[in-house]
Every structure is written in structure tokens, then in C-alpha cells.
Structure 1
């Protein structure tokens, strides 16, 4: 028996998010739910989990279905709770005394260290908060697990653990997962639903294979639409000829035939649907000022240290040249951000062991998008960076996916994806020739990730970036630096590094 059936489901929240959605989820299905930011993924999960009313359509579930939702953010009520208390939060208080072992097992399975379990959630890293909330989701032994961006804040080791954990779930447990991590989706899903305002499509395939099938289906729709428009045009030409003949000859029969042909053409045009085109959430473009320097950054042999003076790893003699796209990999806490900070200090005015060319123009985005903190509104961010006038600034912001009402509103009104696109716009306007990018795909949907990939390849500036997104790294990296065994070493490809980090 199926776990879940959606029939002609529609939801409008200000704008239509999806309509006419049909889906049947069987026991054991692992479904990836794909859409751009703000297009209804989280809303659909809440409809399923909370039983609220859609705009139209029906949601039918198996009798006594147990559903558990992992939301994107830690609930306010659990921020002061310990990780252990968070994991226990979904158990019935009356059975807590003899059921608490379930939470301990779940925390063990997800690798949450014992010394972190009695710390308040708000003091833990985002990754450990996710693991504690996952433990809470599984303690009730749900039939259907809804995971909204479960990979947020996870490093590669935790990603590997999460993939193994999902694979080890009971065989008949259903899973619906939203994620922008393409490699993760390929690893954990068996089906894919592309959520659209109209004509959502599902395929019995993991993400990458489903994406190819979707592109083929959209192309076929495009060809069908073009053919129908050509046929309708031909009918209208025939109708026009018959109309002239009918008028000249006074034939009522030909005039009637003319009307029939015109009606047929109109019906064909009304029934035909153009191929789906995603409305872009905002373009991502980068610009490079160019440089003729042979080496933008030169790093001397030495030891990189933590703020307390503790040695982190040894640095070899290394260079970053124009056009190099280097990805820096390593476990959380290994010191990736310390190397980025040392290079930044060298560009700002000097840092022992690092030299930079005078021609370097730095563009930097950290994982917290702190470059936006200096501005009260998106409009201020653009006008203080760019001198092209207010009209041009509004056009740039609109191109980055920010509506008119958001352009002069507070930064706090922006979603994570909108903040990321604004940060990339500010970066482009500065026209750097060397980028330092720390987790640049955080908050970017798949469309945004692919746009950033293309831009980094297109405009040819050098960059040193940190990322846990395997698909993004594979697409971008020309050189790979890895922190391992107390040293910074270089690899030709990232895959062996990924394998090592995910088994840590």
C-alpha cells in the first residue's frame, strides 16, 4: 500500500507555487524534491507533515501514518535545550522514562559525541545541531521522513555519515528530501520530482539521470509545441485563401469552411503548451579586471598556526597564477580559513610567508556573507559599490532576482539565496582578478550553483575556494589542495580526497 498520494494538488502563497501536482509515494521510496529557492519545496513538506489545507487538491496518507519533518532551522523552543533534550523532544512525556534509550541510540547512529550531548543547541555548530534534530526525527520510528536541506552546515565527514545513515534506514521507510547538493541526491535518492508552477515532472531515477531525462522531455515538449504552432499557422493560411475565394464567389460553403479552419487553428493554439522555462531566480555573473602578473600569490615554506599558536599544518612552497582555480579541502577545524585569512592579510598590507603581486584586486565572500553587513539595504550596497546611478542600480538588483520592494528594504528581509546572489553581484561590481570564496554555494540553489560554475570558468580570474559541495568542486577545480597528515598537499583530482574525508 502507498504511503502518500497527492492528487491535483495546488498551492498559492501570494504567487502560484505549484498546481495540478500528482504523486504517489510507495513504501521504501527515496524521493528527491527539486526546485529553485522560494518555489514551494518547504511549503509542500509542511503540507504533508502538518496536514494543513492546500489551495486545492487532495493529500491522502496511509492509515496511522507516522511522519517526521526535519526543518531547515532549529526551532526557537529548542535553542536553549541540550542536544540530548532536543533528541528526546518528540517522545511522549509519559513514556520518556523507559523510551529515552531511543534518543541515545539515534545520537550514537549519527555520531554525536557524548561530550556534546549536554551542551545547549545554540552553542553547537550548525552541523551538530542538524544531527541532533535528525535524531529527534527518527526516535518515533516514522513511516515517512521529510528532510528539508539536511546537508546544510555539514562537512564531508558528516555528509558521508548522513548518506550511510539514510542507506541504513528500515527498507520500508519512505523519505522525501530537498537538497541543492547534487552528489548527495545521487547517493541517497531513487526517484526525483521536479516541482514546477505547472506540469511538475517525476522520474524513477536519482537526480543526475533524472535531470537528463527532464531535459529530453522538455526538448520533446518544445518540438511538439513548435509543430503545433506550424500546423495552426498552415490552417490559418488555408482559411485566408478560402475566405478570399468564398467572398469573391459568394459561396456560403467556403465561408463556413473558412470558419471551421480558423476555429481548429484557435483550438490548437489554445491547447499547445510551450516547453517549460524556469523563471530565473536571478543571474550570477562575475567580472575580472585581468592581470599580467606571473604569480598573483606566492606562499613560502612554513607552518600555519592557530590563533593560540598551536601548529595546524606545514605549508610547502606554492604559487597561485592568473586563471588558477584552486579548491582547498580538509575536515572542519583543520585550518582552511586560516590560510585564506593569511592570504587576505598579505593582500591588505603584509603577512609573513605570503607575497602578493601589486596587480592583485581581491574579491572575497565568506560563508556568512559578512561583506553585506556594512550595508543597510541592497540598494545601498550597490550604489556604494557602483557609480552608474539609481536606475542602473535597480536594474542590476532586478537581474540578481531582487524585487523592487526588496531593493530598498532591510537586509534582514532577504532569504539566504537572495543574500548569496546579492553578495555575488557586489563582488562582480568590484571587478577583482583574484577571488577568495569560502563555501560560495551555501544558500545557492542548483540553478545558482550551475551559473556560478559557468561564470568562474568563463571570466578566467584566479580563485582559491573552500567548498564541501562535491559536484561544484568537480566542475570548477583545476587544482586541488588538501590538508592531510599535518601538511598541505596537492592532488590532480578531488575524488580520492573526497573518499578519505567522507570515511573520517
Structure 2
């Protein structure tokens, strides 16, 4: 036993989780799964000793060293170089004589030397996350806690991280929270579904554990219905005996009536309803349709950098109704440039790309820049669309933006709330073509699955860029790949994914 959790609970207004029991042993690779804002980071903080639980206890092995990789770097550390951040994780006496440990860890994580010497403030979110991982691992922890380690990473870096985790000593336990389903499947052997009540642990990777969870919830639902039915039948019997007992003056029947009623009450008190998770917010889309066959026509378009350096040419390509095209390419090859060019074309600002006049665009980029952080959710919805204030508030609440947040600045929303708000605005625009650059950024697993289902169920036409393997595999029915300065069509994404992931 490395760490044992017994009846642990944290309440912040509402319970995040309660009565949680978990034992972490050598060799465990645990995926921690829950919707946004449901306590994953809080639980990791409890394990690391930085958050005080409301109830229960945590027992740690004597001398246990925990490496906790959080989601964000403290602002006061952003002026440090990547190298210095990792070095500062070592005790001062060790840092003086064993700085070579930093070089080893950064080498294992394949951090280029020139990036090691840059201030963290100048690095991308992905490299900042890598710096935090290196700082945790250089201390040689006995338990590694990784909070959203794939955020901001492209497929190549995700592959490197997967391989790095696979190469760790087998007896080193790791707890990972992630919304990347394929990453969880590749790196874990147990799954904890964290819930406000009755969290569940399975000795399975995410995909199989998810099936087991659904089966367990269905069994709970059947058991609850059966128990309620038993209690109802007992109360009916008690009511009949009570009438007979009163009419006949039988004390025995009155006593029997009381016993049946008590049995029914015990069953009702013991039974618990099946788990109903509080939704983080609905994602609903629409498809307004069009009679045009070709929505977008690319006639050997040159895709260039902002300074006019050629990245690739498209050849002759068409996007037609019902096409859900995934754009594949290594980092910096120009996926986002093509998305931006099509976006400009649909705004009549890019003459090299032809668009059908009836195309109604729904656009979302990876930074959600279509949202104005200085705006409020209410003005973003009621101010743009003729829905009325009351319906706007109802739509926002269903999207996961509660009444208290609806009149605050969009900048104050969480990443998940912003993503759901962006999807609501897309829906209200009633598009027939979706242009989506990294749409699953900030969405939890529930949100990703909802977005997948909506795109497929409505026969939506879309061009999308995504680093989420599960999402692009599930949604895509056509695949365009940037290769050797040409845009080619491939049958499926697997060869590209395998090459990227190494």
C-alpha cells in the first residue's frame, strides 16, 4: 500500500465527493474521471496534502514522496527559465552537486536545449506543462499525480508523453486526470469515476470501465425499482390487513399490519436511487440544411504563412453536404491557416476559395476568440439573437451557465463553461456548415461525447481540426492530410496517428 483513502469527502457548498474509498498500490496506473468542476483537482490536492478534506482520512506510506503536476504554473514563477524551474525543485544541497539530474529528465522528455533556457512566460502552455512534469519527476517521487497532462499538447507530444509514462519503473504508481479518452486507454490500468456520492473504481482501462459503469448504474436502477415495488406491495398488504383487523377487532392483524409497515419503511430507508450525474451543461447543435451540393470548392488553392511562404497546395477538393472532414497534419504544417482561409472566404474576404451562397457558417476556433471576454453571457445570447430575455436565461442555464454567472463577464467563466457557451451560440446561428478548430479544448468527456452525437445525429457538414483521437475517429467520415506540401485524401487517420504517436 502506497496511499489509502478512507471515507474521504470534500464539501464546497455542495459535496464534490463523499465517502470515497481508494487504495493505491505499486504498479497502479489510475485514470481519474469526472465532469469539469466535480473535484478531480481537489482530490489530487488532498492526496498531495495541499487541500484539507471535509471528512475522512488519508494514510500515506512512511516517507512517501508525492510528485504533483498541477494544471498551471504559479504567476510568480513565469519569469524563471524552464531549466531553472526544474532545478529549483531539488533541495538546495542536491541542486549544487546533482544538477545533472535536470539534464537527464529534460533529455528523457525531449525538451530542446534552446527552450530550456527561455523564460516560462515565453513558452506555450504545452511546454509549461512539460516543465511542471519535469520538476515533479526530478525529485524521484514514489507517487506521481498528473492533472490534465495532455492539455495544450499536439499529437506528437502526446505520443512522447505516453511513451515516457510507459517507460517509467513499473512499480511507480501514477494517478492521471484527463479528458483524452484514447490517452487514458493507453496509459492506465484502473479507472476511478469520481462522484458526489458512490464513486466507483474498476480494474479496467477507461473504455471498458465506462461500459462496466453503465452496467453497474443500470443494475442499481433495476434494484431501486424492485425495492420500491417490494415496499409498495408491503404497504398494500398492510392497508388490507388494517381494514380487516379494524372490522374484526383482531389485535393480531393490527400487530401484523404494523410489522409490514415497518418492513416497508426499512426497505425504503435502505434503498438508494440510481446515480444521476449533474450535467455540466447541454450541448445541442442544429443543421439548417441547404440545396447546394458543393458547399466549399478548393481549386488548387495555395495555403501560405502570414509572410507568404508556401505551406502546401490543396489540389481540387470539394466539401459537400454530410461531409465531416478531419484535417490531419503535423504541427506547424498549416491546418489552422486553411481553416482561417475558409473562414475569410465565407465572409467574402478570400477570393481564392469558392463558397455556395446558401452556406450558413458556424465557426469556433481553438481559443474561442469568437467570444468577447468583456461581454456577458446574457448579452452574447439575448443581444445577438431574437430569443427574449427569459428564454435566453433558460438556454444559458441548460448550457451550464447558472443564473449567478449570466450577467458576469465571459472572462470569469471556466474553460468548460466558455466552450459550452460557444456551442450554444453556434446552435442559435442555425448553420449548415461547421468550421471547428480544436472544438474539444476545455470540454470534459461528457461534453465531447455530446458534441460527437450532435454532429452525427444532425448530419452536419463540417471541417474540423482536433488532436483528440477518440473525437476525430468517431466524428470523421472523410480525412484530408497535409503531406509533402500537398493536401491529399486518405481512407482513415490511423497511419497518420501511428506515425505521430511514435
Same fold (TM over 0.5): yes
Deviations 1:280-311 (A, max 9, x none): 11000011221110100000114311111211
Alpha-carbon distance between aligned partners in 2 of 1:85 and 1:424, rounded to the nearest angstrom:
40
Whole-angstrom distance in 2 between the partners of 1:241 and 1:497 = 71
Q: Compute the displacement of 1:389 (Å).
A: 1.0
SS at match of 2:278: coil
> In 2, distance between residues paired with 1:360 and 1:89?
55
Mean alpha-carbon deviation: is it higher for 120-129 or for 23-32?
120-129
Match of 1:464 in 2: 463
Q: Within 2, Cα distance between the matches of 1:458 and 1:265? A: 44
List runs of 5+ in structure 2 lacking aligned partners.
none
Superposition TM-score, scaled by structure 2 size: 0.98
Partner in structure 2 of residue 252 of structure 1 = 251
1:144-185 C-alpha deviation (Å, 9 max, x unpaired): 000000000000000000000001111221100000000000
2:25 matches 1:16: no
Give the match for residue 102 of structure 2: 103
SS, match of residue 443 in structure 1: coil
Relative to 1, partners in 2 of residues 1:207 and 1:443: Cα closer, same or farther, differing over 3 Å? same
1:399-420 Cα deviation digits (max 9, x unpaired): 0011110011121221110110
Match of 1:336 in 2: 335
Counterpart position of 1:299: 298
The equivalent of 2:387 in structure 1 is: 388
What is the distance in 2 between the residues matched to 1:68 and 1:184?
20
State the alpha-carbon separation in 2 of the partners of residues 127 and 331 from structure 1: 15
Q: Is 1:26 equivalent to 2:14 in the alignment?
A: no
State the 1:375 CA deviation.
Answer: 5.2
DSSP 3-state at the match of 1:38? coil
Q: Which runs of structure 2 are paired with 1:14-413 in the superposition (5 Å)?
A: 14-373=13-372, 376-413=375-412
Q: Secondary structure at the match of 1:57?
A: strand
Tell me if the contact between 2:373 and 2:410 (Cα under 8 Å) persists in the aligned partners. no
Q: Distance in 2 between matches of 1:287 and 1:259?
A: 57
Shift of 1:77: 2.3
The 3-state SS of whatever aligns with 1:231 is helix
| Counterpart mapping for 1:422-501 below 5 A | 422-501=421-500
Indicate the larger mover: 336-345 or 368-377.
368-377
Q: CA deviation at 1:204?
A: 0.7
| Shift of residue 122, structure 1, vs aligned partner | 1.4
**Separation in 1, partners of 2:205, 2:470:** 14
For 1:71 and 1:350, locate their aligned partners in 2 and report how far apart those are by CA, in whole Å: 42
Task: Provide Cα deviations, 1:55-99, integer angstroms capped at 9, x if missing partner.
Answer: 110100010000011111122122111111122121112221222
With structure 1 as the length reference, what TM-score do the two structures score? 0.98
Task: Choose 94-103 or 204-213, whichever is displaced more.
Answer: 94-103
- Asked whether the equivalents of residues 235 and 262 of structure 1 are also in contact (C-alpha less than 8 Å), the reply is yes
Distance 2:349 2:392 in 1: 34
Unaligned runs of 5+ in 1: none
Deviation string 1:458-483 (CA, Å, 9 cap, x unpaired) is 11221101000000111100001111
* Cα distance between partner residues in 1 of 2:180 and 2:193: 15
> Quick one: distance in 1 between partners of 2:99 and 2:113?
15
Distance in 2 (alpha carbons) for counterparts of 1:33 and 1:316:
44
Contact 1:328 1:482 in 2 (8 A): yes
User: Do the aligned residues in 1 keep the contact of 2:86 with 2:131 (CA within 8 Å)?
Assistant: yes
Residue 51 of structure 1, CA deviation: 5.0
> Contact 1:301–1:353 (CA<8 Å) still a contact in 2?
no
In 2, Cα distance between equivalents of 1:255 and 1:202: 46
Asked if 1 retains the 8 angstrom alpha-carbon contact of 2:374 and 2:411, the reply is no
- How far apart, CA to CA, are the structure 1 residues paired with 2:204 and 2:373? 45
Aligned residue pairs: how many? 502
Distance 1:411 1:430 in 2: 19
> What SS does the corresponding residue of 1:393 show, helix, strand or coil?
helix
The 4+ residue runs of structure 1 with deviation greater than 6 A are none
Is the 2:373–2:411 contact (alpha carbons within 8 Å) kept by the matching residues of 1?
no
- Using the TM superposition, give the Cα deviation of residue 53 of structure 1 relative to its aligned residue in structure 2, in angstroms: 2.5
